Each structure stands twice: as structure tokens, then as C-alpha cells.
Chains A and B, each alone.
Chain A
Amino acid sequence: MHITVNASAHDISTETLDAALVELGFTSPAIATAVNGQFVPASARGATILNSGDRLEVLAPMQGG
């Protein structure tokens, strides 16, 4: 399944968001996710099914002003 992860094209074999994060190597506990511009809480990742063409954003803490 082709999805876009942080603006890069990826081909993944898993379906749920939490499995996709593992497959993509996002193992840090300090991440937050959004699919197609909508926030997906950590508690909902297991029940969130990704579809081909979805845009996944994975964000982490960063310096800011």
C-alpha cells in the first residue's frame, strides 16, 4: 500500500497505524500522529486503518520560539 509519510512516498505492508509506525521505524515514545490532516491520538492508532494514498504526519518535540 502506498502512503505518504512526512511528505515522502512509502510502500507499507501493514494496515493499522500502530503497526505502520513500527514498520516505518518510528519507535520513539515522543511522537504524535495525524492522518490526512486529522489528529489521531495514540490510543486510537491500533484501530486506525490506513488506506492507499493516505498522508501520514509523524511529529516529535523540537526547539521552538
Chain B
Amino acid sequence: MRIYDADISVPMFLGTAQYPSPAILQQAIRASGCEVVTVSLRRETAGGTGAGFWDMLRATGARILPNTAGCHSVQEAVTTAQMAREIFATEWIKLEVIGHADNLQPDVFALVEAARILTADGFKVFPYMTDDLIVGEKLLEAGCKVLMPWGAPIGSGQGLRVPDALRAMRAHFADVPLIVDAGIGRPSDAVQAMELGMDAILLNTAVAKAGDPVGMARAMALAVEAGRAGFAAEPIDRRDVAVPSTPVLGLAELM
């Protein structure tokens, strides 16, 4: 899968928050083989430790995708993106503009406006969006080359609440990389997303808060691989009635 200037082979982006320890985060990244990890920016304390976290993450060799998590306005998101570009030395930005405090639903109007400003400024924008076709079109017009529809609210672990909407996005945006961002709870959700033809998933809580984050990272990596292979192998259509798989021809008459 090619996204902007990068070829990504493992279809799974991993968030770096909420792990029991930095060591477990590192092991989870390694266990999943994921090539892209998300990070954020928060207020530094005098003599603070932000640089230590950054050094640790760089040591993993993963590509960095900074986010604008927690931003509720265009200006906050744009300023945060500019600060992230300087610190992390990347034009990639996972653009979040939150519209609702309870379900962390993106404000898609502000999202499109911020995406337009940032792409004009040279950013490569990964927009966290609802599963709306028209919003997707507007984001592409704004210069985005990838779309990241939610599966369910961030951190909810509900899986894909509206698979049909994602299927419609796949059909409508045949040549655009689609990444399900948010809502993945279990490996079966990851398989489902990939079987729908998504190009990748982005997840954090499902791995970080699992009983065994490293084991779950590995399970998720297997799941996305299985789902992707299944989609490529073209599953059969569902039928309402049984169809014998063993040939009827040559069946003995024993009554």
C-alpha cells in the first residue's frame, strides 16, 4: 500500500498511549511489526521528559504519525500540526478536529477547512473522519490522499458499527487508501475491516489496554493479514439455502 511518499506493507498503525510501560509499548510495536505509530504533543514541564519518550520511539525505527488529538477548532489543529512538524520532522499529520466531547466525533466542517490549510502548507494529511462519502470527497478536494473513517467512537472497542458505510466508501473511493481509525476492539473487528477492503486499521486502546498488550498486538497483526488475504482471495457470496459441497452425481441408492 502506498500512502503519500511511503510504501507500507503491514496494514496496521499503532497508537502509543496507555501502555503499562514504555518497554511493553516497544515490545508491542515489535510484535506487530507495524511500521507507523501515532504520537501527540502535550505541555512540557520545565526540565521535562518529552525528549526521552521521543528518543525511545525513534529507536523502534517506526515511521511517526503525529496527531492533533484534543483540538476542537481549526486554529488549534493547524497550530498543533505546525508544532508537530517541527518536533517530529515529518509532514505527516493525523488531523483530528473534535466536534463532540462525549463521543469524540470529528467536526467534519472544521476538518475539511483545516485539511485545506494544511495541505496548502505542504502537510500530508491523514484525516480522522466520519464514514460519510461527501465528507470524503471534500477532503480529497482539499488535497488529502488518504481517508480515515471511524469504525466506532475512539476507545469504545465497539468494532465496526456501520459496515455498510465502509463498504460504500470502498466502492466509491476505489483508488484511495482507506484506514479504519478508531473503534477496533478485537481481532475479529480487524479481520472484518480488512475483508471489507480497507487498506489498513489504526488502533490503540484495543492493544494497550488488553490483558496482554504484546500478545494482542501480535493477534491484531495476524488478523489484518488474514483479512487482507481473504479480501484479495474474493470470498463467496452468501446464500439463503444450503448447497451440498459433496458431489451428488454418483450417489448410491441404498434404500
- Chain A contact residues, CB within 8 Å of chain B: 6-7, 24-34, 37-39, 41-42, 57-65
Contact A30 B75 (CB under 8 A): no
Interchain Cβ contacts under 8 Å between A and B, 27 examples: A26-B44, A28-B47, A28-B50, A29-B51, A32-B41, A32-B86, A34-B83, A37-B76, A39-B86, A59-B41, A59-B43, A59-B44, A59-B83, A60-B48, A60-B51, A60-B54, A60-B87, A61-B40, A61-B41, A62-B40, A62-B41, A62-B53, A63-B40, A63-B53, A64-B41, A64-B66, A65-B155
Interface class of chain B by DSSP: mixed
B29 CB to closest chain A CB (Å) equals: 12
Task: Choose, from B11-19, B187-195, B230-238, B239-247, the stretch at the interface.
Answer: B11-19
Chain B stretch 3-22: residues in CB contact (< 8 A) with chain A:
15-19
Contact B39 A64 (CB under 8 A): yes
Most chain-A Cβ atoms within 10 A of its Cβ — which of B18, B47, B50?
Answer: B50
Contact A6 B38 (CB under 8 A): no
Contact B16 A64 (CB under 8 A): yes
A24 CB to closest chain B CB (Å) equals: 6
B156 CB to closest chain A CB (Å) equals: 12
Task: Tell me if B46 is interfacial: C-beta within 8 Å of chain A.
Answer: yes
Task: Tell me if B79 is interfacial: C-beta within 8 Å of chain A.
Answer: yes
Indicate which residue in A27, A34, A38, A64 contacts B67 across the interface (CB closer than 8 Å).
Answer: A64
Q: How large is the interface on B (under 10, 10 to 19, 20 to 34, 35 or more residues)?
A: 35 or more
Q: Give bound CA distance, A64 to B18, whole Å.
A: 8
- Chain B contact residues, CB within 8 Å of chain A: 15-19, 25, 38-44, 46-51, 53-54, 57, 66-67, 69, 75-76, 79-80, 82-84, 86-88, 154-155, 204-205
Contact A64 B44 (CB under 8 A): no
- Closest 6 pairs between A and B when the two form their complex, measured CB to CB: A60-B50, A64-B40, A25-B46, A65-B15, A65-B204, A32-B83
Q: Give bound CA distance, A38 to B205, whole Å.
A: 31
Contact flag A65-B205 (CB < 8 Å), given A25-B47, A39-B83, A41-B86: yes
